Amino acid sequence: MIILVLVVVTALAFDFTNGFHDTGNAMATSIATGALKPKIAVALSAVLNVVGAFLSIAVAAAIAKDLVDQSVVTLPLIFCGLVGGITWNLLTWLLGLPSSSSHALIGGLIGAVIAAVGMHGVLWTGVASKVVIPAVLSPVIAGSVAALGTWLVYRSTRRVSARNRQDGFRWGQVASASLVSLAHGTNDAQKTMGVIFLALIAHGSVKGSDDVPVWVILACGLAIGLGTYIGGWRVIRTLGKGLVEIESPQGMAAEAASAAVILASSHFGYSLSTTHVATGSILGSGVGKPGAAVRWGVAGRMVVAWLLTLPSAAVVGAVTYGVAHLIGGAAGVGVVFVGMLALAGFMAYRARATLVNADNVNEEWEGGVAPASASVHAGV
């Protein structure tokens, strides 16, 4: 029971990091264009994330049943997978890189399973169909939709002054950003629900055929909502200012494209990366606007982080499982838990060096310099 409690607490901690890491997916462009004030944006996003968590459990079922063999899952294994996801989330947050919380979590679980029982413990067909293929296709689809939408918007309003166009699309941007927040809660909160459900199955509290308990849905919704309200300002800055100098029409097109792709994936149970979708949409909005400048160097660094997410989180999951298994029992899990807290504390300390917050998140981007530079080093 002690290990189960630690697993649930760690899962909700991951959900919290998911919230502040992914706030920018919904609200970065609205903040960048001034459609919403920063603190209002994250508060609105937090509420809608909580609401979205109650709309579907298809992704939670995929996490719990389609990616790893339930018969080999143990509580220490799940715990170490979560540590892998949290570690990658905190590292990429510190560097200001919008990476996938979903892939970090799945990578951590896969690494822990492989360390525990070998490759056969992973359902590779499910990983390919539910994770890898959507990861490749989703940013391309979202980017294409956003590019077309942006081109149509500017084409149809070419006789409208730039100022009037900007003002006219701000309310539409608020609505589309709200829809992305709702979609994010529908997709991302479910991933932690699925992990806690796996833990309850391993503990014997529920059966694999049962529904996800209501208390799990509520706890995960509140955790991701609180994380969203805290606001991952570094990642918001990268998405809102680092990729494209964005205007309201672009922001609305990007957010509408993101919401459509995320909601469709939630309906079909795909464990989609909302970060990949949002980034693809923002890049598409830059491609679709005549004369817009896209910082492809920043985008390239983000893609590198995407490629490293699954294997890096898997390595952390595998190593921490090895440590926990070597020590054994609750003591092994406790040692890993303390190590995770120490690492999180160190990253939080480094983040205090130079803060990015609601007051400076919209400062002008310094050319192609990544936000991990000395001028904007770290912070929530």
Give the pLDDT confidence of 60-96 residue by residue, as tens digits. Answer: 666 667 788 878 888 899 899 999 999 998 888 888 7
Give the CB-side neighbour count of residue 226, counting CA atoms within 13 A. Answer: 11
CA–CA dist 142, 198 (Å, integer): 31
**Residue 143, in any domain of the structure:** yes
- State the pLDDT confidence band at 271, using cuts at 50, 70 and 90: low
- State the pLDDT confidence band at 369, using cuts at 50, 70 and 90: very low
**Residue 199, in any domain of the structure:** yes
**Residue 365, in any domain of the structure:** no
Residue 113: pLDDT above 90?
yes
CA–CA dist 32, 41 (Å, integer): 11
**Residue 187, in any domain of the structure:** yes
- State the pLDDT confidence band at 58, using cuts at 50, 70 and 90: low
Written as six digits, the tokens of 340 are 């995770």
CA–CA dist 198, 240 (Å, integer): 36
Token pair 């294409």: residue? 144
| pLDDT at residue number 194 | 83
- State the pLDDT confidence band at 114, using cuts at 50, 70 and 90: very high
- State the pLDDT confidence band at 110, using cuts at 50, 70 and 90: very high
Contact call for residues 145 and 260 (beta carbons, < 8 A): yes
Max alpha carbon distance in the chain (Å)? 70
**Residue 297, in any domain of the structure:** yes
Token pair 């029971």: residue? 1
- Which residue range forms the structural domain that includes residue 125? 2-351
Number of structural domains the chain divides into: 1
Residue 270: pLDDT above 80?
no
Written as six digits, the tokens of 156 are 């149809």
Q: Where are the alpha helices (DSSP H) in the chain?
A: 2-33, 38-52, 58-65, 75-95, 101-117, 124-127, 133-156, 162-203, 214-230, 233-237, 248-268, 274-288, 296-327, 329-351
Written as six digits, the tokens of 110 are 């896969």
- Taking alpha carbons only, the member of 260, 239, 217 closest to residue 22 is 239
Note the pTM of the prediction, 2 decimals: 0.81
**Residue 361, in any domain of the structure:** no
Give the CB-side neighbour count of residue 267, counting CA atoms within 13 A. Answer: 6
- Taking alpha carbons only, the member of 219, 10, 35 closest to residue 108 is 10
Cα angle 139, 141, 147 (rounded to 5 degrees) comes to 95
CA–CA dist 267, 280 (Å, integer): 20
Of 54-63, 252-261, 310-319, give the range with the top mean pLDDT. Answer: 310-319
Residue 242: pLDDT above 50?
yes
**Residue 360, in any domain of the structure:** no
CA–CA dist 87, 260 (Å, integer): 30
Q: 146-176 pLDDT, tens per residue?
A: 999 999 988 888 888 877 777 778 888 888 8
| pLDDT at residue number 61 | 66
Contact call for residues 305 and 170 (beta carbons, < 8 A): no
**Residue 272, in any domain of the structure:** yes
| pLDDT at residue number 339 | 92
- Taking alpha carbons only, the member of 114, 90, 122, 101 closest to residue 59 is 101
Average pLDDT over residues 306-327: 93
- Taking alpha carbons only, the member of 80, 320, 323, 21 closest to residue 199 is 80
Q: 21-53 pLDDT, tens per residue?
A: 777 777 888 888 888 888 898 899 889 888 888
CA–CA dist 294, 134 (Å, integer): 24
| pLDDT at residue number 201 | 85
CA–CA dist 342, 329 (Å, integer): 21
| pLDDT at residue number 231 | 65
